[in-house]
Structure 1
C-alpha cells in the first residue's frame, strides 16, 4: 500500500517549569555538598583544601549545563498514526510509537514534579524497547495528552 509522504512533525517542548524543577534538584544536591566542602576547608585551614569547594562548585555548574541541554532536547509530536518522542544531549534518541501498539498510558508525578505542577506521561507497548516517556508536562496537559492518546489508540486498535 502506497502512502503520501508525511508532513514534518511539529515538536512540542516540555514545560519551562521542568527546567526550574531540575535547577531545584541540582541546588538541593549540591548546596549541602558545597557547605560540607567549605566546612572541611575551614576546619583544615585553607591551603590546598580551597580546591575542594571549587571542585564541588565546578561540578554543580557542569551538572547545570548538562541538565539545560537535556531540557532543551526533550520534545514530542503527535502525528496521524503515531507519537514521536525525542530526547538526548550526547546520545540522541527518537522513539516512534504507533497509536495502535499502545497498551497502557501512565501519568505519574514525584514530589518535586508535584511541587511544580508537573507530571510524566509514560507509554507502554508490548515491546519494552518501544516504551516512551515524556517528562515535564504541566499536570493538566499530561492528563489531556493521556486522554487523547487513549482515545486515538483505542480507535487504531479497533481498526485492525
Structure 2
C-alpha cells in the first residue's frame, strides 16, 4: 500500500490589524484608522488641500489631510451674500428716504470687504484641513495669514457639534474642540454630519485611552 504524502495545510493568516495614523511623534497609544472612518471623513470633501505659494509657507508635512465638505462654500456664499444685500439695501434706503449720502462711506468699506471675502471664499475653504496624528489633532487654515494648531488628545475636555438652519439645509456641521487652554481650542467648520459624528466618536475614544481629557 502506497503512502500518500501529507499535503501541508496553510496556516490561517492572522487578522490584519488596523493601520495606525501617520505620526511624527511618539506615544503609548495611537488612534487607529479604518476604511469606514476615512470614507466618512472624506465623503463629499475637496480632493486636495490648497497650499500658499512661496518658500516661506508652513509645510503640510506627512500624513493624510482631511478637508471640508464642498457645500460649505455655498453656505458661506449665501450667508455672505445676504449680508452684502442687507448692507446695500440699508445704504440705499438711507440715501433715498433720508438723504444721508455720508452712509456710503462706511457702507462702501463694508461692501468692498464683504465682496472680497465672497470672491476668495472657495480658495479659503480649500486651504482648511485637519490631520489625525498619533498624539494630537493638527488643524490648519489660511492663505495669507496661516494658522496651524496642534491639539493633544489628552488635553481635550469637550467635543461639541453645532449647526444652524442653513448648515442643516446643506447637511453640514461644525465641530468644536475645547481644551484647558482657550487659546488652543479649535473649531472645524464645514464637516458633513456623518464626518462630524465619526470624528467626535474617534476623538472621544482616543481621549479615553489617555485616561485624561474627556
TM over 0.5: yes
2:158, 2:177 within 8 Å by CA — same for their partners in 1? yes
Matched, 1:85 2:107: no
Q: How many residues align?
A: 150
Query: Deviating runs (4+, > 3 A) in structure 1?
Result: 32-43, 55-61
1:102, 1:123 within 8 Å by CA — same for their partners in 2? yes
Q: Which residue of 1 aligns with 2:73?
A: 19
Q: Measure the CA separation in 2 of the matches of 1:39 and 1:125.
A: 46
Shift of 1:82: 1.1
Residues 60 and 102 of structure 1: is their aligned pair in 2 closer, same or farther, counting only changes over 3 Å?
Answer: closer
Matched, 1:96 2:150: yes
Q: Which residue of 2 aligns with 1:10?
A: 64
- Partner SS, residue 144 of structure 1: helix
Q: Which residue of 1 aligns with 2:86?
A: 32
Shift of 1:13: 0.9
Match for residue 128 of structure 2 among 74, 84, 89:
74
Shift of 1:42: 7.6
Alignment RMSD:
2.9
- Partner SS, residue 211 of structure 2: helix
- Partner SS, residue 91 of structure 1: coil
1:101, 1:157 within 8 Å by CA — same for their partners in 2? no
- Partner SS, residue 143 of structure 2: coil
Bigger Cα Rg: 2
Instruction: Name the TM-score, length of structure 2 as normaliser.
Output: 0.59
Matched, 1:112 2:166: yes
Q: Which residue of 2 aligns with 1:135?
A: 189
- Partner SS, residue 195 of structure 2: helix
Residues 38 and 138 of structure 1: is their aligned pair in 2 closer, same or farther, counting only changes over 3 Å?
Answer: same
* Runs of at least 5 residues in structure 1 that lack an aligned partner in the other structure: 44-48
Higher helix residue share:
1
